[in-house]
Amino acid sequence: MASVTIANVWKYYGKTSAVRDLNLNCNDGEFLCVLGPSGCGKSSTLRMLAGLEHISAGDILFGERRINDIPPKDRDIAMVFENYALYPHKTVYGNIANSLRLRGMSKADIQQRVQKAARMLEIDHLLDRRPGELSGGQKQRTAIGRAIVREPRLFLFDEPIAHLDAKLRAHMRVELKLMQRDLRTTMIYVTHDQLEALSMADRVAVMHEGVLQQFGPPQEVYHRPANRWVAGFVGEPPMNFLDCDLAEEGGDLCVRHPNFTTPLLPEQAQIMQAKGGGRGVTLGIRPDEIALAAEPGLHAFSGQVMITEPLGGDLLVDVILEGSKVLVKAKPNYRGGRGEVCHLTFDRERWHLFDREDGQAYF
């Protein structure tokens, strides 16, 4: 069993806490991504799992077994860390094959595994080079190769493809996911790149300042962010936020902003009546959940085009509202130019309201 349980885990460096009361579980064979910005405690968490860092408080279990005090070599894990320390005097082949040789595997079997990994990682033409003769991305892929040939019970990957160019990263995302599915190995994968997390993970754990913010499948994290922080971190271009309040109009509970007063959908109004009485709210809506038109329509309101940015197939439009600004992903055939009046409609099925003080999502 290679399920992993992290129970009430803390990491202190001196007096500062890098990981605060973390609770996570990863099922056997699951691909779990830990996602968050620089300094949020991702590597500290992974290093505690690997046994490279003392656990200040709490427990880590592999299956039913508490591993807090088990040395790294006895944990049956393979790691790829940020500073992929390769053996400088060994070739790429030697680096990847090393753990298999120590295990006493036959030459033919080693060759087969190394070749397979090297082909997948697109480094099969580099097997005779030494690390000093490789680029950063090639070293990184060698380190991944070294980990995957071991076929351990648990992979711990820390930003393993951060040094690759965009095209190679996209290729590696697919390959790593396929590899993990084929081997059915449990994977805990750290990244600050939300695209990686959303595209690869079965579940994503979003961290901020050492605290777990949300833990769920990618779709849930994207469509039902638990709070404003997660909503703003996940998604590109980022979600728009507008300070609003709630007001009754014509018997409907509405979201009110200087530019618009738009009714909530009935189930949303129910949530707000039950929980949100009288408090300031922040409206959150993603750029692709706003429709942009030259003519007014039902529940549409007007703004002024500030600038348009064509991005190949998409068109990003910055729209000025009273005292705020929203970014809209428009259809490429939208023709509005700078300074023109435009009409916006929010997709009310998709918008979110957050408490303005604590940032928690109402829906």
Ligand X SMILES: Nc1ncnc2c1ncn2[C@@H]1O[C@H](COP(=O)(O)OP(=O)(O)OP(=O)(O)O)[C@@H](O)[C@H]1O
Residue 363 CB, nearest distance to ligand X (Å)?
29
| Per-residue 3-state assignment (H helix, E strand, C coil) for 162-207 | CCCCHHHHHHHHHHHHHHHHHHCCEEEEEECCHHHHHHHCCEEEEE
The answer to whether residue 227 forms part of the interface with Mg ion (CB under 5 A) is no
Kindly tell me which of 40 and 290 has the beta carbon lying closer to ligand X.
40
Helix (H) or strand (E) holding 274: helix 266-275
Closest CA to 234 of 177, 286, 167, 170: 286
Residue 210 CB, nearest distance to ligand X (Å)?
7
Kindly tell me which of 83 and 106 has the beta carbon lying closer to ligand X.
83
Kindly tell me which of 13 and 87 has the beta carbon lying closer to ligand X.
13
Question: What residue 41 binds from Mg ion, ligand X, none (CB within 5 to 8 A, per partner kind)?
Answer: ligand X
Residue 337 CB, nearest distance to Mg ion (Å)?
44
Question: What residue 51 binds from Mg ion, ligand X, none (CB within 5 to 8 A, per partner kind)?
Answer: none
The answer to whether residue 44 forms part of the interface with Mg ion (CB under 5 A) is no
Q: Name the phi and psi angles at 112, rounded to 5.
A: -65, -45
How would you list the strands of the sheet with 57-62, edge to edge? 16-26, 4-13, 57-62, 65-66
Burial string for 155-171 (b: 16+ CB within 10 Å, else e) reads bbbbbbbebbeeebbeb
Burial string for 99-126 (b: 16+ CB within 10 Å, else e) reads bbeeeebeeeebeebbeebbebbebbeb
Kindly tell me which of 40 and 254 has the beta carbon lying closer to Mg ion.
40
Contacts with ligand X by CB under 6 A lie at 13, 18, 36, 38-44, 192
Kindly tell me which of 44 and 240 has the beta carbon lying closer to ligand X.
44
Question: What residue 148 binds from Mg ion, ligand X, none (CB within 5 to 8 A, per partner kind)?
Answer: none
Residue 153 CB, nearest distance to Mg ion (Å)?
23
The answer to whether residue 43 forms part of the interface with Mg ion (CB under 5 A) is yes
Kindly tell me which of 33 and 126 has the beta carbon lying closer to ligand X.
33
36-44, 264-272, 325-333, 354-362 -> range binding Mg ion (CB under 5 A) = 36-44
Residue 65 CB, nearest distance to ligand X (Å)?
24
Whole-number Å distance between alpha carbons of 360 and 282:
10
Beta strands 31-35 and 203-208 are: parallel
**In terms of C-beta density within 10 A (0-12 exposed, 13-18 middle, 19 or more buried), how is residue 15 classed?**
exposed
Residue 82 CB, nearest distance to Mg ion (Å)?
6
* Residues at the contact surface with Mg ion, assessed by CB under 5 A: 43
